[in-house]
Structure 1
Amino acid sequence: MGDNSDSPLPVVSYARISDDTEDDAHGVRNQHRTNRRTAERLGWQVVKEITDNDISASKANTAREGFQEIVAALPSGVLADGTRFDGVVVLNDDRLARRAADYESFVEALTEEPGRVFGDEHGEKDLYSETVEGMGLVGVVFSKIEARKTRRRMRQWHRDRAEDGKPPGGRRTFGWREDRMTREPTEAKLLADAVEEFIAGRSLNSIVRDWQRLGVKTSTDRDWTTTSLKRLLQNPRLCGYRRIGGQLVHDDHGRPVVGAWEPVVTPEQWQAVDALFRARAGHRIGSDGKPVEALPVDHREHRYLLSGILRCGKTKPDGTVCNAQLRVTRQRDCKHHIYACATKGRGGCGGLGRRGDKVDEYITELVLAKLEQRQSVTKDAGPWVKEAELERIESKLATLTAQWKNDQVTDDFFFANVRDLEQERTNLRNERARHAATTQRAARDTSDVRRRWNLPPEEGGLDIPQKRAYVREALHAVIVLPVGKGNGSRGNFNPDLLVPVWREE
């Protein structure tokens, strides 16, 4: 073992910072500094520092690359980079392992060859001694128990704060000041506008590009991405709600708990955003309880209004309709873009084309007129008609849960009934969110959409993704019928040869 000779034993310093401890970012450096001092005191020399940062040792199936590297190298005493070592020094046992299996694998690897050393800030430990190994295992078990207790306390702490209407801890969220309660005016305005524009159909990518152009940064001073913006818009904190484990936090009466911080948007607006994300994830359910078609999502930014929406209506020699999507092409003697059917090699017939600017102008007017008509109908639709039904289900759930807690019903009876009630509640909540999305869309003045349609985006106008969202909301497709002989794609424009396929009301 360590003999404090003039030739110090080479050892590895191992440090671990996990997300279930109170250590800060400087903890790694502090651990290694303490380990070096321990090694010097014992007559050892640290030749390598290995760290597992922000990794828990108490959770199963957690990959700790540093720990595994040490265990794999201990029998030979040579690390992957060729560094020779004869032992390991750590801050204390719970930094090394919190699971008995991990501790046993470490001890087996270390003691496979004689002369290996191990120590922590309390001094050297002889792992070749069964007594010391047993004490270590006992310590690991208690550390694991304490880790589980800590996680349970943290989960309960978060839930208690949520039920009391307090904001989550940690760094501030974009849109609020450092106190996490007061709105930051500039950021809050950007967030509110983003919510409205997303409800209106603007893509996340389009909003992010606009923010990047304006130099807007996240609360951690990073560039915005579609992922970070999506995560923020999905957060019910925007309207004053909290979500834990994927579920909104509700009070005893089944109503969402409203936080004490200043909201950025209304609950109806956030529910509309949430419903849109759910629909895009493929979970949209119709009022009859059956899945319905969700609006198509553009996975890339198109440069033209009707790409992929126009379809060829020419009849092929076998009597079937071509139905291929029209693509945009350019010709040197034409300054306007042309929507044309793809060639036979690309699945089309190559026999139809139409002047793009005229088609865009005509379909735009049809769509705006349709949306204005739909808006007037939706505004008269009134409030969601199933609010009383949802309240009844939530009341039954609360009563059943209270009876179960008071041992008034058996476990079998409770679990046999609670699942159906919870599923019914979820379906009704989702339906309410979809109604909120529809109402929020109708609440936007379509006359303002018409005004903004032809303005450049930098002046508050709609960009192509926003315009396409309105078109797709109104239309399945537009069938383009062939013109008569002698008329090319740039002949006299005939709107009767454009057949819109409208979405159901």
Structure 2
Amino acid sequence: MVEQDEAVPVVAYARISADTAKDNHGVEDQHAVNGQTAERLGWTIVHRYTDNDLSAAKAGLVRPDFEAMLRALKAGHLPDGQPVRGVVVLADDRLTRRAGDYERFVDALTYEEGRVFADAKGPKNLYSEDVESMGLFGVVISKMEVRKMQRRMRRSHRRRAEQGIPVGGKRAFGWKEDKLTLEPDEAKWLAKAARDVIAGKSLHSILREWQEAGLRTVNGKMWASRSLKLALWNPRMCGWRKHNGELVRDANGVPVVGQWEPVIIPKEWMAIDAIFTARVGANVKADGTVTDYRTPSHLLTGILRCGKKKPDGQVCNAPLRVSTRPDLSGGFIYQCPSREMGGCGGTARNGAKIDEYITEAVLAKLEERAAKAHRVEAEWDGEEELNRLTGKQRKLLQAWQDDAISDELFFPENQKMEKRIKDLRKDRTQHALRVQRASAVTDNVREQWHSDRLEIAQKRALIRQALHAVIVLPVGGGGRRPFNPDLLVPKWTED
């Protein structure tokens, strides 16, 4: 060890973060104590390291100054060449709260003989195995306390969620600072955006409207597609809340209603949930339906499928793409991509004429369905089964907790019921989406279509309600032939 009357160059380390703020030690206070300790021991602080707002308890979190201090200790000097022979800290838990970090610190400090270490209580000899062991034991105790705090925090969040109490932090866009009362102008924009999404309008178009209107987030930033999507997908919109990725439900499986004012009704949010959930993982589904992330350029892109047979007898089924043809009326064609691009290259048809024919067929189908909708009650037919299963699941759980049934019986049965309940809830959200969209399709759908009030993305959404796909059969015989609608085979969603 270094003699007491020797002026020892040491560094000081300070840290304050969310899990230590309750101790009322600010960084300046910590460094003041460190300076007093160093002065009392006759040491000289040559550099101060500070990792403010960085928890020492989180795995994977990098503390830049802590890492820089370890490098300086290992080298025995600062980057400018100033010698370093020790460290002074307020307390061990300000330095490390993970055993691995403590071991790395001890290894760096004791890399050479004669290094010193002290906290507010006085110097410690980290070369002693007993002292090092006590330090590790202190880290373990500290980690246990951190885990207790984390568990208490999780329980608190869960309890608040079950009581429908808003969480802390900044207000959400659409609500005032009390997090309960709607902010009228923002809520109006949210409600309109939600209903536009349900009607089939793309997020890209909605985002452009918000940006042109100069809307900002609660942090004063411009809206982006992701932030807009998350705002609309938040169940807070209809008065519900998620916790750990799941809707918070009561003992009967019913979503807990929060204390804040809703922007839209639950069925509308369930429709939005169905739309965004369907977009996860795929753009084009096996049935030929597509999801629009941007406003598309053509009405039937991806909906038209090539019906030409390949040499092996299999139907091509590749989605037709758009190519410009200034020599044709309408100026474009739908055509099958080349073999190199996954198609057969053997089908091409006048785009404007196909759009006109399919539009008329779809409008007729939607008008027919709208007429039927007036006579049919829009109720989901799985509600009774869902209620029965959730009740049965509660009884099964109670029996297992009372040791009335074995683990071998409980877990397989519960797993089967959980899967079925999950499937039923998914079907309910899909039903809500169909109902909400159908409510916008009235007897005047033709008038809406031709009035330019609907964007192309909304028209495509209406088409996908009516159609899975349209199979385009080959003309045959070569050369240009008159447009033949009989070579278009619609695959209606109800067929």
Q: Note whether the superposition's TM-score is higher than 0.5.
A: yes
| CA contact 1:52–1:67 (8 Å) conserved in 2 | no
Determine the C-alpha separation between the residues in 2 that align with 1:114 and 1:37: 26
* Gap regions ≥5 residues in structure 2: none
Contact in 2 for aligned 1:305/1:467 (Cα 8 Å) = yes
3-state SS of 2:15 partner? strand
Question: Amino acid of the residue matched to residue 153 of structure 1?
Answer: R
Distance in structure 1 (CA, Å) of the matches to 2:255 and 2:61: 34
Distance 1:382 1:122, change over 3 A: same
The SS at the match of 2:143 is helix
Offset at residue 317 of structure 1 (A): 8.7
Q: Give CA-to-partner distance per residue, 1:34-91, whole Å, 9 cap, x none.
A: 326624761433536353754x433445555554454455322357898864444445
Whether 1:339 aligns to 2:333 is yes
Deviation for aligned residue 1:415: 3.9
Q: What is the 5 A alignment of 1:302-451?
A: 302-313=296-307, 324-332=318-326, 336-341=330-335, 342=337, 353-377=348-372, 380-405=376-401, 414-447=410-443, 450-451=446-447
Please tell me the residue identity of whatever aligns with 2:182: R
The change in CA–CA distance for 1:386 and 1:500 in structure 2 (over 3 A counts) is closer
Change (3 A) 1:359 1:38: same
Which residue of the partner structure matches residue 47 of structure 1? 47
Does 2:465 align with 1:470?
no
> Are the structure 2 counterparts of residues 4 and 366 from structure 1 closer, same or farther at C-alpha, using a change threshold of 3 Å?
farther
CA contact (8 A) 2:165 2:258 kept: yes
Letter of the structure 2 residue corresponding to residue 210 of structure 1: E
Letter matched to residue 49 of structure 1 = Y
Query: What SS does the aligned partner of 1:75 have?
Result: helix
Greater mean alpha carbon deviation, residues 223-232 or residues 181-190? 223-232
Q: Which amino acid aligns with 2:461?
A: A
Q: What SS class does the counterpart of residue 220 from structure 2 fall into?
A: coil
Counterparts of 1:447 and 1:3, CA distance in 2: 95
Mapped partners of 2:479, 2:89: distance in 1? 84
SS at match of 2:435: helix
Following the alignment from structure 1 to structure 2, what is the Cα–Cα distance between the partners of residues 39 and 370?
82
Which one is further off, 76-85 or 462-471?
76-85
Helix, strand or coil at the partner of 2:200: coil
Write the mapping of 1:251-266 to structure 2, written as runs, cut at 5 A: 251-266=250-265
Give deviations 1:336-372, integer Å, cap 9, x for gaps.
3311434666566666544433332332222233233
TM-aligned CA deviation for residue 163 of structure 1: 1.7
Deviations 1:435-485 (A, max 9, x none): 2222222222345654443455xxxx3333332233233323334455688
Gaps in structure 1 of 5+ consecutive residues: 284-290
CA shift, 1:273, in A, is: 1.9
Distance 1:47 1:195 in 2: 55
Aligned mates of 2:205, 2:409 — CA distance in 1: 51
When the two structures are superposed, what TM-score results if normalisation uses the length of structure 2? 0.83
Alignment check: 8 A CA contact 1:237 1:263 kept: yes
Q: What aligned pairs does 1:104-143 form with structure 2 within 5 A after superposition? A: 104-120=103-119, 124-143=123-142
Q: Is the 8 A contact 1:15 1:32 kept in 2?
A: no
Q: Is the 8 A contact 1:253 1:394 kept in 2?
A: yes
Distance 1:258 1:41, change over 3 A: same
Q: 2:105 corresponds to which letter in structure 1?
A: F
Aligned mates of 1:294, 1:352 — CA distance in 2: 17
| Structure 1 residue aligned with 2:147 | 148
Seen in structure 2, the aligned counterparts of structure 1 residues 13 and 502 have a Cα distance that, compared at 3 Å, is same
**Segment of structure 1 superposing worse, 173-182 or 409-418:** 409-418
Secondary structure at 1:74 match in 2: helix
Separation in 2 of the partners of 1:94 and 1:121? Answer: 12
Q: CA RMSD in A?
A: 3.9
Whether the 8 Å CA contact 1:47–1:83 is kept in 2: the answer is no
- Cα distance, 1:162 vs structure 2: 1.6
User: Is contact 1:35–1:121 with CA below 8 Å preserved after alignment?
Assistant: no
Task: Pick closer, same or farther for the CA change 1:386–1:494 going to 2, 3 Å.
Answer: closer
Alignment of 1:226-305 (within 5 A): 226-281=225-280, 295-298=289-292, 301-305=295-299
Given that 2:198 and 2:436 are in contact with CA atoms closer than 8 Å, whether structure 1 keeps it comes out as yes
Per-residue displacement from partner, 1:125-171 (whole Å, max 9, x unpaired)?
A: 44334454344323222211111111111111111112222112221
| Aligned partners of 2:237 and 2:269 also within 8 Å | yes
- CA–CA distance in 1 between the matches of 2:260 and 2:219? 20
CA distance in 1, matches of 2:217, 2:317: 45
SS in 2 for 1:192: helix
The 8 Å contact of residues 36 and 46 in structure 1, kept in 2 or not, is answered as: no
Question: Judging changes above 3 Å, is the alpha-carbon distance between structure 1 residues 82 and 158 closer, same or farther for their aligned structure 2 residues?
Answer: farther
1:500 aligns with 2:474: no
The sequence identity of aligned pairs, in percent, is: 48
TM-score (ref. length: structure 1): 0.81
One-letter identity of the residue aligned with 1:465 = A
Query: What's the secondary structure of 2:223's corresponding residue?
Result: coil
In structure 2, the CA distance between the partners of 1:23 and 1:477, relative to structure 1 (3 Å rule), is farther
Q: How far apart are the structure 1 equivalents of 2:313 and 2:246?
A: 54
Which segment is superposed worse, 199-208 or 253-262?
A: 199-208
Residues of 2 paired with 1:465 and 1:96: CA distance? 56
For residues 40 and 316 of structure 1, the distance between their equivalents in structure 2, rounded to whole angstroms, comes to 86
One-letter code of the match for 2:103?
E
Q: Which amino acid aligns with 1:396?
A: K
Aligned residues: 487
Show CA shifts across 1:233-266 (max 9, x none): 3322111112212222222233221111111111
Structure 2 match to 1:167: 166
Alpha-carbon distance, 1:423 to partner = 2.8
Q: Secondary structure at the match of 1:202?
A: coil
Q: Distance in 1 between matches of 2:200 and 2:413?
A: 40
Distance 2:343 2:259 in 1: 59
